[in-house]
Amino acid sequence: MIWKWWTAPGLTYWGTAPRVAKVGPPPYGPETVRDYLALPAEQLGVETIVGELDGRPVAYAETYAKRDSLLADVPLIEDQARGSHLLVDPAARVDRRIILEVIVDGVDWAFETWPEARHYIGDPNIRNRSMVHLHKMLGMRQIMVVELPHKTACLVAVSRTDWTNNRERVASLIR
C-alpha cells in the first residue's frame, strides 16, 4: 500500500522524503522504492505507520531513535530521545485537527513504548511554517536549526515531564 501510494502519478513529492533519499539519487523508480520499503523496519531504524481516513491512506509516519538518525550528533538532546517524520498527502486536504491528533498519538505512543526516552523530538522543514507552528502549539520548544542533507530542519523537543504536565491542555486542542 505504501509503495502504491508513494509511486502514484502526481505524488512525486514523496521522492524527497529522507527515507527514500537513502535509496540513491532521484528519480526513484517504482521498483527502487518498492525494494527499499520491503527492507525490514529494524534494518531501516524506523517504525512505520500509515494513517488512513475513510479507507484511503493520507499520512505516512516514521518514528525513530535520535541515536540512529541524522540528528545523532546533536548534543542538546539525549540519545534515547524518540522522534518522528510525518508526511501528509496535500491532495487529501486533511483537517489540521487530524494532523494534531496524529502528532499527539505519536508522542503518547513513543513515551509509552520507550520509557527510557526523556524527550520527543520533531524536525520539520523550517520552510514548513504550519508544521513548525503545530509542533510549538503542542508545547514543543525550538532547540536549534539543523542543516540536514535534504532540508534545513527546525529541531523541536518536548520533555516527558512537560508533556505529562500539559497533556490536558494538549487534549483540549484536538477536541
Which pLDDT score, from 0 to 100, does residue 128 have? 84
The segments of the chain whose pLDDT lies below 70 read 1-45, 89-93, 150
pLDDT tens by residue, 73-83: 888 888 999 99
Secondary structure of residue 50 in the 3-state scheme: strand
What is the reported pTM? 0.75
Taking the C-alpha atoms of residue 85 and residue 121, their distance in angstroms, rounded to an integer, is 10
Which pLDDT score, from 0 to 100, does residue 116 have? 94
- Furthest-apart CA pair in the chain: how many Å? 46
Indicate the DSSP class of residue 52: E
**φ/ψ of residue 153, rounded to 5:** -105, 145
Domains of the chain: 1-39 (no CATH), 46-173 (3.40.630.30)
